[in-house]
C-alpha cells in the first residue's frame, strides 16, 4: 500500500502561522452543541454508555439519515446505510473493497485530492477527465467513455463539485449509469454537498437506481459539523455493503457513542439546519459576486449549488494570496486540487465570511 500525503494538509503544515480566516473552508457554519441542541439534549449526552457500538451504526441514526433520502429512494431503507467516521473512511473503504493492483478509476480533475489519490494507495490508477472553464467546468459523456479500458473498475463523481461549484444534472448521471452498465463498472458518488442547495435548484441526484452505485456523505459539509465524526455510505449492493462493514471491523470498528447520539439529535432537526446553512451560503455568494465584479483581475463561474467556487486571477496568484495571508486571510491555490493556472478556491459556508472579505477588500 502506498499512502500519499494529502496535498492541502501538507500545505497547511508548511504555513508559518494560522490565519484568522480561511476563505477556502469547505464546511458549513461552525456550531457548538449549545447552538444546535437543547439543554435537555445536552444533558442526555451525560448518560450515554461509553461502550462499543454496532458496526453498521445505530438503527435510530440510520433511520434519521434515511429520512434525508426517503423521497428519492422509497424502496430502500436503513439496511442500505453504513455509518462511518466521515466521508474519508467511506471513500477509503469503497476503494479498498473494489480495487486490485492495476485497476483503473475514472474521475474529474480538478477534484478533492483523495478522489484522485486513493486508487494509487491500492495499486490502482486514476484516469482523469479534465474539466475546463470554457465549458463552465461541465464534463461530457464522451470524455468519460474515452477513458474506459478493460482495466476500468469504476467511475467517481462529485456534484456539486469541489472545487469548481459545477453541478451535474440527472440526464448526465443517467448517461453515466448507462456507460457503467455497459462495462459493468461501479459508480461512486461523493455527495458531501448534495444538500447544499442554496438556490433551490435541486441537486440530489438519483445514482442508486443503479445496482453497482454507492454514495458517500457526511455531517462536515452542509451541516457544518466536522468535529462530529459521522459519515455514511449508501448502496443497494449487498455484497459491497458487507465488504465495507467487514473492513470496518479492522479500522474504526464503530463510531463514538457520543458522536452517534449527537448525530441522532442533529437528524431530528436536519431540515432547519440545512435551511439555515444554505441561507448563509446564498448570502455569502452574493457578497463575493460583488467582490469579483469590483476586481477586474478576477473572474469565475458563479456556482448554482454547493458551497464552493473556483476563481481565476489574471494577476500572478502567489503574490496575491501572500498579500491576503498578511491580512490574516488564508486562501488555497487551485494547484492543491490539480488544476494548473492562477486559480484559487473559495468556500461560502462560514458566518464570518463577510469579515474575511472586508479584510482583503481594504486598500
Residue 88 lies in a domain: yes
Residue 282 lies in a domain: yes
Same domain, 278 and 142: no
Position 312 scores a pLDDT of 98
Same domain, 149 and 295: no
Q: Which of 222, 243, 270 is the last residue of a domain?
A: 270
CB proximity list for 167: less than 8 A, separation 6 or greater: 159, 160, 161, 201, 203, 303, 304, 305, 306
Residue 261 lies in a domain: yes
Residue 153 lies in a domain: yes
Q: What is the spatial distance between Cα 192 and Cα 232, in angstroms, rounded to a whole number?
A: 10
Position 6 scores a pLDDT of 87
Q: What is the spatial distance between Cα 20 and Cα 330, in angstroms, rounded to a whole number?
A: 8
Position 90 scores a pLDDT of 97
pLDDT per residue as tens digits for the range 290-310: 999 999 999 999 999 999 999
Position 362 scores a pLDDT of 67
Same domain, 47 and 192: yes
- Cβ count within 10 A of residue 319: 10
The mean pLDDT value for 87-115 works out to 97
Position 1 scores a pLDDT of 82
Question: Domain of 199?
Answer: 38-270
**Contact 224/29 with Cβ under 8 angstroms?**
yes
Burial classification of residue 349, based on how many CB atoms lie within 10 Å of its CB (0-12 exposed, 13-18 middle, 19 or more buried): buried
Helix, strand, or coil (residue 129): strand
**Contact 306/167 with Cβ under 8 angstroms?**
yes
Residue 48 lies in a domain: yes
Same domain, 244 and 305: no
Same domain, 300 and 168: no
Same domain, 73 and 167: yes
Q: Which of 245, 270, 295 is the last residue of a domain?
A: 270
pLDDT per residue as tens digits for the range 264-287: 999 999 999 999 999 999 999 999
Same domain, 337 and 279: yes
Strand-strand pairing, 186-190 and 152-158: parallel
The cell numbers describing 273, all together, are 439546519
- What DSSP state is assigned to residue 350? -
CATH number of the structural domain spanning residue 29: 3.90.1150.10
Same domain, 283 and 243: no
pTM: predicted TM-score of the whole model, two decimal places: 0.96
Q: Which of 270, 291, 309 is the last residue of a domain?
A: 270
H-helix or E-strand containing 142? helix 141-147
**Is the per-residue pLDDT at 113 higher than 90?**
yes
**Is the per-residue pLDDT at 363 higher than 80?**
no
Position 154 scores a pLDDT of 98
pLDDT per residue as tens digits for the range 29-79: 999 999 999 999 999 999 999 999 999 999 999 999 999 999 999 999 999
Domains contained in the chain, number = 2
Residue 2 lies in a domain: no
What proportion of the chain, given as a percentage, has pLDDT over 90?
97
The string of DSSP codes covering 228-295 is: S--EEEEES-HHHHHHHHHHHTTTT-S--HHHHHHHHHHHHTHHHHHHHHHHHHHHHHHHHHHHHHT-
Residue 1 lies in a domain: no
Q: What is the spatial distance between Cα 16 and Cα 19, in angstroms, rounded to a whole number?
A: 9
Position 4 scores a pLDDT of 81
Same domain, 234 and 319: no
Same domain, 181 and 258: yes
Half-sphere exposure of 278 (CA within 13 A, CB side): 21
Backbone torsions φ then ψ of 202, nearest 5 degrees: 90, 95
Position 329 scores a pLDDT of 98
H-helix or E-strand containing 81? strand 81-84
Same domain, 282 and 257: no
Residue 180 lies in a domain: yes
Same domain, 343 and 225: no
Look over the chain and give the mean of its residue pLDDT values, rounded to a whole number: 97
The mean pLDDT value for 90-118 works out to 97
Amino acid at each position: 500500500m502506498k499512502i500519499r500525503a494529502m496535498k492541502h494538509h501538507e500545505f497547511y503544515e508548511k504555513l508559518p502561522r494560522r490565519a484568522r480566516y480561511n476563505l477556502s473552508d469547505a464546511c458549513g457554519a461552525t456550531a457548538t452543541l449549545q447552538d444546535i441542541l437543547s439543554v435537555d439534549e445536552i444533558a442526555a449526552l451525560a448518560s450515554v454508555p461509553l461502550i462499543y457500538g454496532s458496526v453498521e451504526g445505530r438503527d435510530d441514526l440510520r433511520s434519521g439519515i434515511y429520512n434525508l433520502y426517503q423521497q428519492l429512494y422509497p424502496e430502500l431503507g436503513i439496511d442500505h446505510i453504513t455509518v462511518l467516521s466521515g466521508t474519508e473512511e467511506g471513500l477509503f473503504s469503497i476503494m479498498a473493497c473494489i480495487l486490485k493492483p492495476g485497476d483503473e478509476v475514472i474521475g474529474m480533475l480538478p477534484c478533492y485530492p483523495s478522489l484522485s489519490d486513493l486508487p494509487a494507495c491500492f495499486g490502482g490508477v486514476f484516469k482523469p477527465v479534465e474539466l475546463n472553464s470554457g465549458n463552465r467546468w461541465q464534463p461530457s459523456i464522451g470524455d468519460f467513455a474515452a477513458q474506459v479500458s478493460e482495466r476500468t473498475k469504476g467511475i467517481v463523481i462529485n456534484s456539486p463539485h469541489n472545487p469548481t461549484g459545477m453541478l451535474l444534472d440527472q440526464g448526465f448521471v443517467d448517461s453515466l449509469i448507462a456507460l457503467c452498465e455497459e462495462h459493468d463498472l461501479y459508480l461512486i458518488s461523493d455527495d458531501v454537498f448534495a444538500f447544499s442547495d442554496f438556490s433551490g435548484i435541486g441537486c440530489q441526484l438519483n445514482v442508486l437506481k443503479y445496482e453497482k452505485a454507492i454514495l458517500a456523505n457526511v455531517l462536515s459539509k452542509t451541516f457544518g459539523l466536522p468535529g462530529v465524526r459521522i459519515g455514511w455510505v449508501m448502496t443497494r449492493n449487498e455484497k459491497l455493503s458487507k465488504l465495507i462493514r467487514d473492513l470496518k471491523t479492522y479500522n474504526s470498528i464503530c463510531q463514538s457513542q457520543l458522536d452517534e447520539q449527537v448525530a441522532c439529535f442533529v437528524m431530528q432537526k436536519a431540515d432547519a439546519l440545512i435551511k439555515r446553512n444554505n441561507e448563509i451560503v446564498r448570502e455569502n455568494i452574493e457578497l463575493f459576486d460583488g467582490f469579483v465584479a469590483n476586481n477586474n483581475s478576477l473572474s469565475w463561474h458563479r456556482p448554482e449549488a454547493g458551497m464552493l467556487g473556483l476563481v481565476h486571477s489574471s494577476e500572478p496568484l502567489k503574490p496575491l494570496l501572500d498579500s491576503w495571508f498578511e491580512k490574516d486571510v488564508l486562501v488555497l491555490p487551485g494547484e492543491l486540487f490539480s488544476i494548473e493556472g492562477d486559480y484559487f478556491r473559495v468556500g461560502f459556508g462560514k458566518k464570518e465570511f463577510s469579515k474575511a472579505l472586508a479584510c482583503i477588500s481594504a486598500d
